[in-house]
Amino acid sequence: MEKSFARKLNLKPLFNSLIFGTAIGTFVFILFKQALFLGLVAGILAFLLESLIIYPHYLPTLYGLWKITNEDIYYYDYSTWQKRIQAIFLPTVKRQQAIPFSDIKSYALVVSKKADKWTPHYIVLRIDNGDSIALDLSWNLLKTGAPEKDVEWVVDFITSKLGQHKVEVFQTK
C-alpha cells in the first residue's frame, strides 16, 4: 500500500527561470536599442533571481511530494536553502528521504478556518531527534472528487501507526 500527496519535483522551476531570464534579457535588449551587453546582464540577473531566490522560497509548497507506505513516510528534504537550490538545478538527482514510523514521536495537523470551514494545510511530524518535518496537504485539496477523504485517511493511518490517541491541531490565520 502506498499513497502519494502533493506534486513531484521536476524540471519546471529551472525551465521557467530560463524563460524568465530570456524574456527579461530580450526586453532590455530591445528597450535599450539593441545593447547586447545590457540584455545579457539583465537576462542572467533575472535567471539568478528566479532560480536562486524566488523558486527556493516556494519550493516546499509547490513541489513537496511525499508518500506514505506501511513502513515509512518518504519526503523531500528542503531544510536548507542549499538543498532547495540543488533540487531546482538537479531535480532528477534529488532523492526522497525515508522516515520510519518508529522514529516519529508524535504529529500534529495545521489547519485554517474560513467561513466556518476547517481546511487542513500540513501534517507536522515530530522526530525523536528533535526535528520537525512538514508534509503539505494543500495540493491534494485542490483535486476534484473527494480530497477530504485522502486527508482523513492519512490522519487515521498515521494515528493508528503511532498509537497516538488524539491529534494536536494548530490553527493558522
Q: How confident is the model over 20-71, as pLDDT tens digits?
A: 999 999 999 999 888 899 999 999 999 999 999 999 999 988 898 999 999 9
What is the pTM for the complete model shown? Answer: 0.84
pLDDT over 90 at 98, yes or no? yes
Say whether pLDDT at 144 is over 60: no
Q: What is the DSSP string of the chain?
A: -EEEESPPP-SHHHHHHHHHHHHHHHHHHHHTTS-HHHHHHHHHHHHHHIIIIIHHHHHHHHS--EEEESSEEEE----SHHHHHHHHH-TTT---EEEEGGGEEEEEEEEEEETTEEEEEEEEEEETTS-EEEEE-HHHHTSSS-HHHHHHHHHHHHHHHHT-SS-EEEEE-
What's the pLDDT at 173?
67
User: Confidence band (pLDDT; 50, 70, 90) for 3?
Assistant: confident
User: Would you say residue 75 has pLDDT above 80?
Assistant: yes
Q: pLDDT at residue 145 above 70? A: no
Per the DSSP assignment, residues forming a β-bridge with 125 are: 107, 133
Residue 107 and residue 96: Cα distance in Å, rounded?
A: 20
- Across the chain, what does the average pLDDT equal? 88
How many percent of the chain have pLDDT more than 90? 47
Q: What is the pLDDT of residue 80?
A: 93
Domain ranges of the chain: 2-6+69-172, 12-62
CATH topology classification for 2-6+69-172: PH-domain like (2.30.29)
